[in-house]
Amino acid sequence: MKKDLLDLTLDEIALEIQTYGWPKFRSTQIFRWLHMGIKDFMDMTNLSKSDREVLENKYSITDLKLIRRQDSRKDETVKFLFQLPDGEMVESVLMKYKHGNSACLSTQVGCAMACSFCASGQEGLVRNLTTGEMVDQILAMSSLQSERISHVVLMGSGEPLQNLGNVVKLMKIINENEGLNISLRHVTLSTCGLIPEILKLATYKLPINLAISLHASNDDIRRRIMPVSRGYSIKELISACDEYSRITGRRVTYEYALIKGVNDSIIDMQHLAKLLKGKLCHVNLIPINPVEGSNYQSTNISHLNELTRVLLKNGIVSTVRRELGSDIDAACGQLKRRTLNEK
């Protein structure tokens, strides 16, 4: 199989081209073309024809195919269903904010974590995405919408920390100023809380934002809705996050998806406040998106506001995630499931 150039950092491309005895700046030229979204080596017009032919014979460039899109009528959110080179499909979302455009990427086909409220885990894990497949979700959305993407969130299907090697490489590549030049301070990695991998991620000292899908403040409820937590207690998870903050100097965000009657009582919030008291952290409350095949309902707005007041009274600042694209199945995995069901 040909090596895919979108999997490679600028330094790795430089190493590749050394073998042909080409000047070093050639790697920068190639990298720039790749991250402008060029898919055909023949379009790299500042390279000689023979160099382009060498590249074409030896390498490929990941090219995701758009299968379907859904444009929100309520806001400017667009959801895309892309086909990968092997025929698998993943979803990505582009959201517009005042501060810039944010791309929500998938990191795996399917997911092994099987959270009871999430559509992505219902099919189990199929495979990790390559770095190039993650990079190209950004390139494809940027070129389809003719928009620059300034922010990236790893909150599509998959558990990013189970694909840590490729995800770390993704960070390096999108941060490269010859390419997308996305500040790592504008990148958020969301995880269901794999402790060994959180500690491993800390060693890279990336200035990214770490978000933890906590979703419960006691182990019984968390184990019921998030099977992954059967291996770790909430206390252990939070102390791993403290260690992460100590090593990286970065604040951790705790995500808490509110499910009516399951994890949204006032006592749940008081427990949460007690767990997080005095920590360098932030709480993001998320009204749950209903998923086909589950009976979970979202907490209503007045109760949600009451819960933020309870947190504040107990010393915890929280924000409520603005729901974008609520009319377009923006909850992970649902566009793909619908498309597969129709087939």
First to last CA, the chain: 30
Nearer to ligand SAH, 43 or 292 (CB): 292
- Kindly state the smallest distance separating residue 198's Cβ from ligand SAH, in Å: 12
Burial track 247-266 (b if 16+ CB lie within 10 A, e otherwise): ebebebbbbbbbbeebbbee
- Kindly state the smallest distance separating residue 182's Cβ from ligand SAH, in Å: 19
- Kindly state the smallest distance separating residue 331's Cβ from ligand SAH, in Å: 4
- Partnered with residue 44 across adjacent β-strands are none
In whole angstroms, give the CA distance from residue 57 to residue 205.
38
For 40, what's the count of Cα atoms within 13 Å in the CB-facing half-sphere? 4
Q: Which of 209, 215, 245 is nearest to 227 (CA)?
A: 215
Q: How many CB atoms lie within 10 A of CB 301?
A: 10
In whole angstroms, give the CA distance from residue 291 to residue 157.
14
> Catalytic residue among 16, 91, 159, 255, which?
91
> Is 91 one of the annotated active-site residues of the chain?
yes
Nearer to ligand SAH, 14 or 118 (CB): 118
Nearer to ligand SAH, 113 or 174 (CB): 113
> Catalytic residue among 104, 236, 332, 342, which?
332
Nearer to ligand SAH, 47 or 192 (CB): 192
Nearer to ligand SAH, 29 or 213 (CB): 213
Q: Which residues bind ligand SAH (CB under 6 A)?
A: 113, 115, 117-118, 155, 159, 190-192, 213, 255, 257, 286, 288-289, 291, 331-332
Structure tokens at 280: 């360098």
Q: Are 144 and 182 spatial neighbours (Cβ–Cβ below 8 Å)? A: no
- Kindly state the smallest distance separating residue 84's Cβ from ligand SAH, in Å: 18
- Kindly state the smallest distance separating residue 97's Cβ from ligand SAH, in Å: 17
Q: DSSP states of 247-308 as a string?
A: HH-PPEEEEEEEBTTTT-SHHHHHHHHHHHTTSSEEEEEEEPPP-TT----BPPHHHHHHHH
> Is 332 one of the annotated active-site residues of the chain?
yes
Nearer to ligand SAH, 261 or 315 (CB): 261
- Kindly state the smallest distance separating residue 9's Cβ from ligand SAH, in Å: 24
In whole angstroms, give the CA distance from residue 320 to residue 208.
21
- Which amino acids are annotated catalytic? 91, 332
